[in-house]
Amino acid sequence: MDLFDYSLFISAIRMVSPILLAALGGALCARVGIFNVGLEGLILAGAFSAIVGNHYSGSVFVAVLSGAAGAVLVSLLFGIVTIKFKANAIVAGIAVNFLVLGLTTFLLRALFDVKGAYYDKNMEGLPKWDIPLIEHIPVIGKLISGHSPLVYIAFLAAILLYVYLYRTVAGFRLLAVGKNLSASKSMGLKVTAIQYGAVLMSGVLCGLAGAQLSLGQVTMFTEGMTAGRGFIALVAMMLGQSHPIGILGSSMLFGLMDALSVRLQGFSVPTQFTAMLPYLITIIAMFFLKDKGSDSQLSGQQSTR
């Protein structure tokens, strides 16, 4: 077995999409001054509600929608607490993670009467889209074609978010809110609505990330199946400086490492070190980056009480 081959990159692309989607969601929040540590919980909520939707409707489309809806509900709660009630976003994010972990496991028991994981072979997973023409190109075809729609949506979302932030008026205003809240208020921008919009949109993106997790490869839900992906996404967001294209890059890097660490298990290299890489790279990058995470109002100093 080779260390690098097509299947490595194919699995990397597959692993990128949940991280990328969630990191974009996190970036939206960061851009309006809310540091969203609750991505993990939001993805988990999305993964679970997608399975619930699938179970009750039997339609993948409805499943994806319900995945998004579930995460949006949680993000709404997060938004109300942080925006309306001025809670510390970090604390609220941690609480959301706890809440969703407990709630999904609890509901797994309540709804499906199972513990640990829910799997039903009758459930349909996400389709694989073969892209005409491209699929026949030798190397690239294998790489680009044949993924679930959510993989394509993830990449599209990064580009759309870039256009939104840097080309549209609404995106410009969103950036303004994150850069200077009181100035935005004084200019009559609807600051609260913009913040809610960003938080809810991050719910949608995380919901899609969750749906990709629970419907993408094997159609099943496992307790805590996000396994830290929300935090990896958060790290990807930091490394990408909350810039859509930067996040695209960092997510791909982390996806590759994720795939690599799975591959390396066959090579008796301690996987702990490959798993460590995203965090180490991000820490090292922070020494050089201009924005050291102190952008906008997410500074932790003085805000613990």
| Beta carbon nearer to another protein, 122 or 302 | 302
40/150 with CB nearer another protein: 40
Least distance to another protein from the beta carbon of 24, Å? 19
Pair of tokens at residue 161: 């978010």
CB hemisphere CA count around 168 (13 angstroms): 9
The smaller minimum CB distance to another protein, of residues 122 and 272, is found at 272
Question: Which residues are at the interface with another protein (CB under 8 A)?
Answer: 77, 81, 85-88, 90-92, 94-103, 105-106, 109-110, 115, 167-173, 176, 179-180, 182-189, 228, 231, 234-235, 238, 270, 272-273, 275-276, 279-280, 282-283, 286-287, 292-294, 299-305
| Smallest gap from residue 108 Cβ to another protein (A) | 8
CA distance 250 to 28: 16
Smaller CB separation from another protein, 6 or 106: 106
CB within 8 Å of 305: residues ≥ 6 apart: none
Smallest separation, CB 192 to another protein (Å) = 11
Q: Which is nearer to another protein, 90 or 204 (CB)?
A: 90
Minimum CB separation of residue 73 from another protein in Å reads 14
**Closest Cα partner for 125 from 24, 47, 68, 201?**
47
Closest contact distance (angstroms) between CB of 203 and another protein is: 16
Q: Half-sphere exposure of 35 toward its Cβ, with a 13 Å CA cutoff? A: 18
Nearest residue to 242 (alpha-carbon basis) of 200, 192, 294, 203: 294
Q: How far is the CB of 94 from another protein (least distance, A)?
A: 6
Euclidean distance between CA atoms 182 and 187, whole angstroms:
9
Q: CA 202 → CA 78, 118, 131, 256, 274, distances in Å? A: 11, 26, 28, 24, 28
**Rounded-to-integer distance, Cα 280 and Cα 53, Å:** 38
Contact 40, 231 (CB under 8 A): yes
Q: What is the closest distance, in whole angstroms, from the C-beta atom of residue 173 to another protein in the complex?
A: 7
DSSP assignment, residue 118?
A: E
For 276, phi then psi, to 5°, come to -75, -25
Q: Between 6 and 273, whose beta carbon lies closer to another protein? A: 273
> In terms of CB distance, is 1 or 85 closer to another protein?
85
